[in-house]
Structure 1
Amino acid sequence: MQITNSTPADFDTIFALYDEAIAFQKKVFNKQWEGFESSLIETEIRENRQWKIIIDDEVACIFATTLSDAIFWGERDLEPAVYIHRIVTNPKFRGAAFVKIIVEWARGYCLANQLEYIRLDTWGDNPKLIDYYEKCGFSYLKTIDLDNTQGLPAHYKGVLALLEIKI
């Protein structure tokens, strides 16, 4: 298993995994992602913020990171943190506990970059997913209702839960 940056060659794979994730979300929850602009993914790849987990030469999981997320985190965004977004598991590898693997990777990333937190958000009305993230080491902090979603993907409406791990 290897965690490495995604490349432009992964572009179609990333979008295929997003499409599969959206189909899965429709089966298990009353909300789902509404797709993503290709420019967002191109920027993340160019800035080395789009990641992939490779197992046996196959993309098993993808996720994105950023070092700032002020829209969600407000003043707490000033604290040094890595923010994890859009964790997607290839259906062939479902059940492999990639969130726990990403958390361990992120701990190392934080230590190497003098960051104090690993953070993520999810829908605030999805207690099953919040509980899973807590079992992976995250602490639930609070829910927020975003006033300004300009520039964000369309699925960012309603209440979001904020979770973090202190390093």
Structure 2
Amino acid sequence: MKISNSTAEDISEIFRLYESATAFQKTKYNLHWPKFETSLVETEVNEHRQWKITIDGKTACVWATTFDDPQIWEAKNADPSVYIHRIATNPEFKGQNMVAIIVDWAKEYARTNDKTYVRLDTVGQNEGLINHYTKMGFDFLGLFDLANTDQLPAHYHGNPVSLFEMQVV
């Protein structure tokens, strides 16, 4: 298993995993990911904020990070944090607890970058994800209506978000 930055060559695989995750979301929930802009992922790749886990040469999981997330975290954005977005697991690796691997990695990544928190969000009150993320050690902060979503992907518009954080010790 290896964790590394995604490259431009990975973009089609990232979108394949997004499409797979969205198809799964549609079977379980009313809210699901929209089709993301290619430029969003290209920017993340170029800024070394798009990540992947590879196992036996296959992409097992992808996610994105940022150190700044003001539209979602509003006043709390001032806290030094690593924000995780769009975790998408390859169906071939479902059940292998990719989130636990990402959490362990993110805690170390936060420490290395002098951050106090690892944070993530999900749109809506998704009880399955709330339970999963709290089992991974995140504190569920509650459901929040965002003041300004104009620069966020479409699924955030008009929908509350569940916020999660983990303090890195």
Same-fold status (TM-score > 0.5)? yes
Check whether the contact 2:125–2:143 (CA below 8 A) recurs between aligned residues. no
Query: Which residue is equivalent to 1:29?
Result: 29
Query: Which residue is equivalent to 1:62?
Result: 62
Distance 1:76 1:3 in 2: 28
Normalising by structure 2, report the TM-score. 0.96
Distance 1:112 1:125 in 2: 32
Normalising by structure 1, report the TM-score. 0.97
Distance 1:45 1:81 in 2: 20
Distance 1:41 1:159 in 2: 24
CA deviation after TM superposition for structure 1 residue 97, in Å:
0.7
Q: Does 1:129 align with 2:137?
A: no
Query: Which residue is equivalent to 2:40?
Result: 40
Query: Which residue is equivalent to 1:96?
Result: 96
Query: Which residue is equivalent to 1:113?
Result: 113
CA deviation after TM superposition for structure 1 residue 146, in Å:
1.9
Query: Which residue is equivalent to 1:87?
Result: 87
Q: Give the match's secondary structure for 2:73.
A: helix
Question: Structure 1 counterpart of 2:161, which letter?
Answer: L
Question: Structure 1 counterpart of 2:164, which letter?
Answer: L
Q: Give the match's secondary structure for 2:155.
A: coil
Distance 1:76 1:98 in 2: 27
Runs of 5+ unmatched residues, structure 2 = none
Distance 2:146 2:71 in 1: 8
Q: Give the match's secondary structure for 2:156.
A: coil
Distance 1:107 1:28 in 2: 29
Check whether the contact 2:4–2:51 (CA below 8 A) recurs between aligned residues. yes
Query: Which residue is equivalent to 1:145?
Result: 145
CA deviation after TM superposition for structure 1 residue 31, in Å:
1.3
Partner deviation per Cα, 1:66-97 (whole Å, 9 max, x = no partner): 00111111121111100000000000000111
Count of residue correspondences:
167
Runs of 5+ unmatched residues, structure 1 = none
Partner deviation per Cα, 1:22-43 (whole Å, 9 max, x = no partner): 1110111121111100110000
Question: Structure 2 counterpart of 1:12, which letter?
Answer: S
Distance 1:110 1:12 in 2: 28
CA deviation after TM superposition for structure 1 residue 149, in Å:
1.2
